Structure formats: C-alpha cells, structure tokens
Amino acid sequence: MGVARMAIDSEVLVVGGGLAGLTSALAAARAGADVRLLSHKRSTLRNASGLVDVLGYAPDGEGPLVDPFETIPELPECHPYRTVGVETIREGLSLFDDAVPGYRGGHTDRNALVPTHGGTVKPTARYPASTAAGLASDARGTLLVGFEALTDFDAAHAAAHLEAAGVPFEVRGVTVRFPGDLRADAGVTRYAALLDGDGVTVEGRSVSVRKALAERLKPHLGEAERVGFPAVLGDEDPAGVREGLADALGADVFEVPMGPPSLPGLRLAERLFDALDAAGARIETGNPVVGYDAEDGGGSDAVRVDRVFVDKNGAKIPYAADQYVLATGGLVGKGVDSDRETVGEPVFGCHVPHPEDRYEWFADDAFGDHPFARFGVETDGDLRPLDGRGNPECANLRAAGAVLGGYDFAAEKSGSGVSIATGYAAGRSAAEVVA
C-alpha cells in the first residue's frame, strides 16, 4: 500500500447538499465554524419548485392553513418542529431571508397562496419574486400562457382548475408557439437562454424573443392585468426578462412554478451556494460518503464519529471533523433506504423505527396515510439520532431535513420549513460545540 492518507479536516462536516445541508452549513459557517459540505451529486434543490413552505396543512388534513405558527405548537410530539420549537423555526427563516435575495413572504406569518402548474393553489411561507404577481389572493384578471411543446404546463387546464378551486379572479389559459425553431423537447434552460439572449431567427430574420412572444400574446390578452408563464423566464437575468415582457404586454408578468427540472429551484440552489461561499465554507460535490469510523466516547458516553469515507472511484478518502451533520434526504433522496426486510440509514447505519411486518409500512389506499411517509431517524432534543434503545447513536452527529422521521412533508407541505429549521438548529448547535 502507498502512503498513508491524512484525513481532510474541518470543524463541522455536513453530508448532503440539499436545503437542509446548505442551511446547516450556512448556520455553522456564519457562527464562525470552519465548515465543509459534501454532496454526492448536484443539489436536489435544482429539482425543487423554488417555493419555501413551512406548514400548509395540519396532519389531520385541515387546511390550507392561514398561519402555520398557530398550528405548530399543536403538532404531535414526534414532529421535528416540536423538537426545535417555534423560536428556532423563526430564526432559521430569518437566516434564509438574509442569505437569499429575491424572496418574498418574510413580512408576515401568514401563508401566501401560489398557483402551481397543475392549477392547484399551494400555501407557502416564502416565494420567489418571479411568482409574486401571480398570488391567488390578488383579484386581478389573469391570463395563463403555455407553450405548444412544453407539455408540462397546460395553461387552459391549469386555468380551469384554478377556476374550479374558486379563486377570486377571472382566469383564462392560452397555448402559443414559442418563437424560433425549438426542438419539440427543448429543456427549460433552452427557453431561458433564448429569453435571456438577444434574439432568435424567425423566417430568416433575427427578432427579439421577448418582443416576438409579446406580439403573439397581445390578441389573447383581453381584460387580463397579469400574465403567467411557465417558469422558464430567464436564467442569467430573470428580472430583466419579466420586465421586458411586462413592458411589451402592458401587463404584470409572473412565473408559475413547475415540476423538475426547475429553474426557480436552480436559481435558489445557486443563491444558497453563493451565500455559503461568501461565508467561507468549503464545498465538494461529485462523490458519495459511503461509511465512517467511530471512536470510543470515553466512559459511558456514546461513541463519536472519528471520520467519514468518501468513495472516489474505489478509493476511500477520509474526511474528519469535530462535529457532523447528516442531511442526506429521505426515501426519495436516498438518505433513508429500504429493502424487503428492513429500513435503514445508509451512511452511519442510524436506527430508523419501522414495523417489522413490511405490509404495515403502507396503507392500501394509494393516497392514504402511509406510515412510510414518516420513516426517518428519531432524535433527541439536540437533533442527535437515537438508537433502538433511545440513546444517541454518536455524540457528535446531528441530523436535519428529510432524513428525520415523524412527519409527512408531502401531505403537510412542510418539507422546506423542516429542512431550514432543523438545518439551522443542527448547524448552530455544531458550531457552538466547536466554538
């Protein structure tokens, strides 16, 4: 064997590059800790809608909730919000508001109602400025615009859905061809690049995309005072694209958040990484953390994580820190994994409580109340994962985000808020230990 490998050191090591990992790294770095964030792939935030919810529905389905902060104290004990408490949730959101420019909603505790590409209305605590003119609480008449080849957004269908939901405004949907000769399956970044840029060739001459698009829409505008587009309005300069379109149309312009891959998600990821970079953190993306070494905590204390191993094409590279944060996501993000026998947490092997009989993991009704939706690690009050007997797995390991159990983020619309609140709490706590 060659030369011994020294572990690559930092004070706080965060595993996972989603919203929880980024928030915890940011909280720790801003508290003065020497922080490193490791992410296997590019951030999953790039697939997120860009909306930041806190709590849209109560666990019993009541909602949409007007004020999440009124319901949070009534959540079950096992909910991560109960673990960290309302004050910490507020502090986490303040960190987000401070770090991420171009978001709205921080002026109030109340949920905003943002129309989505399916024509539903999503209760959300924070939303990108690009969606601000589209809020469902606004009574102005609305035109939704879809593009022929962009099948993820059917404007007429979304408009009919919104109408059926009883929104307090007139809404119509129209589908037009996007100017230029795009492929039938062009990606959202292609639309965005064209809208960012100078022009496309239409019938042999170069025209401004924004102007050409506005011209196509004018006959459809009618009484509408605002126009909603699928979220492809610019990558480099979204505000400029909206402004250009609004000027040409004589109406306000907004984006309707879309499914993955999502430009608002991409923009949010970029802003958070910029904030993390500005806070002096180190960031590595591209290789997975696959295991760890533990050391005795001394006496009756829990063991400590000594180092984790990053797999680089078969080489195991050690990374060491004083404190660790696990933010690898839930069942979809692979932070929680299962086979036919068991459910587990793959990096540190943390205990994930689940019924022994796998037929009890799910409900028979597809949209029923599935136990698996709440699978995840259980923690103590300091977010340290607990083993099967209720003791911390490791003294210096905290968990944040969807890897936590005890809540159903999809039903509650609480995924972003839990990631921000627990990420903030875990990062701050880790930084306090190393201070």
Partner 1 sequence: MSDSTEPAGGGSDPRSGGDSSRPGVPETGTVDPTETDLDPTAVFEEDEDFDLRPGADSCYKCSACDVSCPVAEVDDDFPGPKFQGPEQWRLKQNEDDHGIDESVMDCSNCMRCDDACPSGVPLSQMHNTARGQYVDEQMSRLSREYVRNRVLANYRVFASLASAFPRLSTAVLNSWPVRWLNEKLLGISGEREFPAFATETFREWWAARGGAAASRERAREARERRGESGADKKVAYFHGCYANYNTPEVGRALVRTFEHFGYELVVPEQRCSGTPMFANGMLADARRAAGVNVSSMADLVAEGYDAVASCTSCSMSLRQEYPELFDFEGVEEVASHTFEAVEYLRIHEDIRGEVREADVSGELAADFAYHAPCHARNQGLDRQAVELFRELEGAAIEDVGDSCSGISGTYGWKAEKYEKSMAVGAEMFEHMETAEGETGMTECPTCAMQMEHGTGYEVRHPLELLEAALVGDGDGN
Residues at the site binding partner 1, with contacts judged by CB under 8 A: 1-6, 8, 15-16, 40-42, 44, 46-47, 180-183, 185-190, 193, 236, 260-261, 266, 282-292, 309-317, 328, 333-335, 337-339, 342, 344, 346-347, 349
Q: How far is the CB of 380 from partner 1 (least distance, A)?
A: 23
Q: What is the 3-state secondary structure (H, E, C) of 293-316?
A: EEECCCCCCCCEEEEEEEEECCEE
Q: How far is the CB of 240 from partner 1 (least distance, A)?
A: 15
Q: How far is the CB of 37 from partner 1 (least distance, A)?
A: 10
State CA 33 to chain mean position distance.
24
| CB closer to partner 1, 43 vs 116 | 43
| CB closer to partner 1, 111 vs 328 | 328
| CB closer to partner 1, 60 vs 339 | 339
| CB closer to partner 1, 89 vs 194 | 194
| CB closer to partner 1, 48 vs 383 | 48
Q: Are strands 304-312 and 315-326 parallel, antiparallel or unpaired?
A: antiparallel
| CB closer to partner 1, 223 vs 296 | 296
What's the CA gap between 237 and 319, in Å, rounded? 38
Q: How far is the CB of 132 from partner 1 (least distance, A)?
A: 24
| CB closer to partner 1, 11 vs 252 | 11
| CB closer to partner 1, 174 vs 399 | 399
Q: How far is the CB of 186 from partner 1 (least distance, A)?
A: 7
Q: How far is the CB of 28 from partner 1 (least distance, A)?
A: 16
CB 114 within 8 A of CB 124: yes
Q: Which residues contact 276 (CB under 8 A, 6 or more apart)?
A: 22, 25, 26, 29, 37, 283
Half-sphere exposure of 313 (CA within 13 A, CB side): 0
Q: How far is the CB of 364 from partner 1 (least distance, A)?
A: 24
Q: How far is the CB of 416 from partner 1 (least distance, A)?
A: 18
Q: How far is the CB of 320 from partner 1 (least distance, A)?
A: 12
| CB closer to partner 1, 310 vs 421 | 310
Q: How far is the CB of 120 from partner 1 (least distance, A)?
A: 20
Q: How far is the CB of 188 from partner 1 (least distance, A)?
A: 6
Q: What is the 3-state secondary structure (H, E, C) of the chain?
A: CCCCCCCEEEEEEEECCCHHHHHHHHHHHHCCCCEEEEECCCCHHHHCCCCECCCCCCCCCCCCCCCHHHHHHHCCCCCHHHHHCHHHHHHHHHHHHHHCCCEECCCCCCCEEEECCCCCEEEECEEEHHHHHHCCCCCCCEEEEEECCCCCCCHHHHHHHHHHCCCCCCEEEEEECCCCCCCCCCCHHHHHHHHHCCCEEECCEEECHHHHHHHHHHHHHCCCCEEEEECCCCCCCHHHHHHHHHHHHCCEEEEECCCCCCHHHHHHHHHHHHHHHHCCCEEEECCCEEEEEEECCCCCCCCEEEEEEEEECCEEEEEEEEEEEECCCCCCCCCCEECCCCEECCCCCCCCCCCCCHHHCCCCCCCCCCHHHHCCECECCCCCEECCCCCECCCCEEECHHHECCCCHHHHCCHHHHHHHHHHHHHHHHHHHHC
